């Protein structure tokens, strides 16, 4: 039987094809280390910021996955903040009830009932672990207005009265820094919000050096799906080439150089930083679009690498960043 016919699932079902896999990167590892410090110290106030497409949302999901393994009884929820012109407390608490998994989050009721349900749910969930902590990861946190922080503070204080610590972790773009500065200029109330929710700033980075780049390539050569099989991601899409010795990691120098040359063509003097969005898209196209070209003699050319990078939209997005952020 042809090895290509032995794939355990269809090509379109693979996580690389559906873009539903999570890759541990150096930056994600640093971010998770900060989350662990927050848990150990029971400190709220962590802010994780970075540019768009750098993989912050995936980092949150990966951190949640790691927390489920390392601290299986600590409850963790991810809330995607909404942009609201006229925020309402009842709607906000309703959204939080949904993301934490309350059975009656859709039920129409008063704001005070929603508040009570949210408070009691968080307390009950936190009591499952002796640390009595509830972690709330807030994505797109720059969308939050000062009134949202007041509402979160109300819940925080309610939980503290019962011996439970709510740990909100803000995740978003650089606007969070500007928001922090504006709050500090607003007086004591703004200072209170910053001291409670925005004390520690942690930058989330893209891929900045060749070592990290090659390590990420190695993930495709070693991660397997389905679990418990020997079908690494690279082998799944290029089984004959893989069995003949092909490894994406071995093309690390060529691919890194191709990214560098593409970046330098934009005449940006700042050091290159590759957003995870465009790194993964490049490799996903490399794998999914070469299935028909698989063979024991398959290899990558520099020209093919340059084309893939261009078609990942890395150049277009970086050019936009050059304009938007005045990169030199």
Are 138 and 170 a contacting pair, CB within 8 Å?
Answer: yes
Distance CA 191, CA 193 (A): 5
For domain 26-203, the CATH architecture is 3-Layer(aba) Sandwich (3.40)
Per-residue pLDDT at 47 exceeds 60: yes
Per-residue pLDDT at 124 exceeds 70: yes
Average confidence (pLDDT) over 121-129: 97
Closest CA to 37 of 25, 48, 53, 49: 48
Distance CA 220, CA 82 (A): 34
Distance CA 226, CA 141 (A): 35
Residue 166's DSSP bridge partners are: 134
Per-residue pLDDT at 220 exceeds 60: yes
Distance CA 176, CA 164 (A): 27
Domain ranges of the chain: 26-203, 207-325
Each residue's pLDDT tens digit, 66-90: 999 999 999 999 999 998 888 999 9
Each residue's pLDDT tens digit, 104-119: 999 999 999 999 999 9
If one compares 230 and 318, the residue with the highest pLDDT of the two is 230
Does the CA dihedral 106-108-110-116 come out positive or negative? Answer: negative
Mean pLDDT of the chain: 92
Q: What is the DSSP letter of 232?
A: B
What per-residue string of b and e applies to 213-242 under the rule 16 or more CB within 10 Å gives b? bbbbbbbbbebebeeeeebbbbbbbbbbbb
Q: Model pTM?
A: 0.85
Residue 324 confidence (pLDDT): 45
Per-residue pLDDT at 52 exceeds 50: yes
Closest CA to 51 of 317, 259, 268, 260: 317
Per-residue pLDDT at 18 exceeds 80: yes
Residue 323 confidence (pLDDT): 54
């Amino acid at each position: 039987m042809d090895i290509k016919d032995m794939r355990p699932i269809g090509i379109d079902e693979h996580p690389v094809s559906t873009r539903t896999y999570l890759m541990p990167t150096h930056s994600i590892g640093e971010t998770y280390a900060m989350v662990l410090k927050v848990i150990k110290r029971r400190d709220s106030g962590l802010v994780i910021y970075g540019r768009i497409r750098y993989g912050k949302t995936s980092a949150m999901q990966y951190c949640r996955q790691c927390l489920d393994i390392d601290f299986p009884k600590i409850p963790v929820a991810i809330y995607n903040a909404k942009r609201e012109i006229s925020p309402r407390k009842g709607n906000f608490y309703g959204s939080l009830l949904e993301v934490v998994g309350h059975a009656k989050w859709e039920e129409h009721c008063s704001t005070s009932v929603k508040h009570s349900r949210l408070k009691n749910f968080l307390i009950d969930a936190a009591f499952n672990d002796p640390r009595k902590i509830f972690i709330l990861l807030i994505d797109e946190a720059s969308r939050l207005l000062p009134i949202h922080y007041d509402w979160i503070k109300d819940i925080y204080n309610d939980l503290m009265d019962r011996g439970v610590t709510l740990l909100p972790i803000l995740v978003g773009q650089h606007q969070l820094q500007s928001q922090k500065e504006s709050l500090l200029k607003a007086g004591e109330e703004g200072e209170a919000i910053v001291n409670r929710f925005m004390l520690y700033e942690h930058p989330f980075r893209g891929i900045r050096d060749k070592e990290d780049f090659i390590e990420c390539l190695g993930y495709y050569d070693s991660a397997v799906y389905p679990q418990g099989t020997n079908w690494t991601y690279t082998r799944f899409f290029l089984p004959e080439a893989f069995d003949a010795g092909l490894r994406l990691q071995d093309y690390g120098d060529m691919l890194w150089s191709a990214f560098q040359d593409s970046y330098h063509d934009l005449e940006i003097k700042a050091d290159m930083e590759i957003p995870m969005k465009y790194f993964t898209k490049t490799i996903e196209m490399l794998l999914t679009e070469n299935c028909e070209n698989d063979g024991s003699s398959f290899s990558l050319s520099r020209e093919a690498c340059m084309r893939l990078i261009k078609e990942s939209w890395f150049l277009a997005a970086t050019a936009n960043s050059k304009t938007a952020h005045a990169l030199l």
